[in-house]
Amino acid sequence: MRLFIAITLSKEMKNALITYMHQLKKQGVEGRYVPAQNLHMTLAFIGEYGDPSKVKRVIEQVPMSHFRLTLSEQGRFGNLLWAGVKGNQKLKTYVKELRTALQQNEIPFDHDHFVPHITLVRKSSAKKPYQVKLPRAEMMVEKVSLMKSEMRGEKVIYREL
């Protein structure tokens, strides 16, 4: 079972990002756009792991203060286009504590440096420069979710466990 821990986005945040992605398409940005229902922020990618209840117990053990996420910038990792959020110390502290707890409980995860972002377009390319401004949007984060990634035909579906 392919697992990851994520922040699911509010309807308002998703709508703002969908509008942004439509504007990117209009200006000729091509690639694999993330479907609206799959928009999220990954906090820890676990990958193939057979004991989701153990991961849920770890999530429950790590205290989380509510905090605000605000869209701030667009960025790239190679040909992956993403939306970033304003630096939030509560988020960074929580992710550090969560990853420490995963490690202490011997749950494997991707140890890449955490850069808070929401993936929008994979394998992106543009034939000409584009000028699309990331919209203003924010949301309160009150919980994180354990998510499962499933293949349905040629589509990837993310489902909360």
Give all domains of the chain, ordered by start, each with its CATH number. 2-160 (3.90.1140.10)
pLDDT band at 128 (very low <50, low <70, confident <90, very high): confident
Is residue 160 pLDDT above 80, yes or no?
A: yes
Is residue 39 pLDDT above 90, yes or no?
A: yes
Is residue 87 pLDDT above 70, yes or no?
A: no
Q: What is the mean pLDDT of residues 101-125?
A: 94
Q: What is the mean pLDDT of residues 123-135?
A: 83
Is residue 125 pLDDT above 80, yes or no?
A: yes
pLDDT band at 61 (very low <50, low <70, confident <90, very high): very high
Catalytic (active-site) positions: 40, 117
Report the range of poorest mean pLDDT among 22-26, 43-47, 92-96, 121-125. 121-125
Task: State the pTM of this model.
Answer: 0.91
Q: What is the mean pLDDT of residues 53-71?
A: 95
Q: Is 12 helix (H, G, I), strand (E, B) or coil?
A: helix
- Computed over every residue of the chain, the mean pLDDT equals 93
CB atoms within 10 A of CB 14: 19
| Selection from 22, 28, 3 nearest residue 120 by Cα | 22
Is residue 132 pLDDT above 90, yes or no?
A: no
Q: What is the mean pLDDT of residues 70-92?
A: 89
Long-range CB contacts (within 8 A, 24+) of 19-28: 19/135, 20/83, 20/120, 20/132, 20/134, 20/135, 21/120, 21/121, 23/132, 24/81, 24/120, 24/121, 24/130, 24/132, 27/126, 27/128, 27/130, 27/131, 27/132, 28/126, 28/127, 28/128, 28/130
| pLDDT given for residue 124 in this prediction | 85
Paired tokens of 158? 């993310």
Is residue 70 pLDDT above 70, yes or no?
A: yes
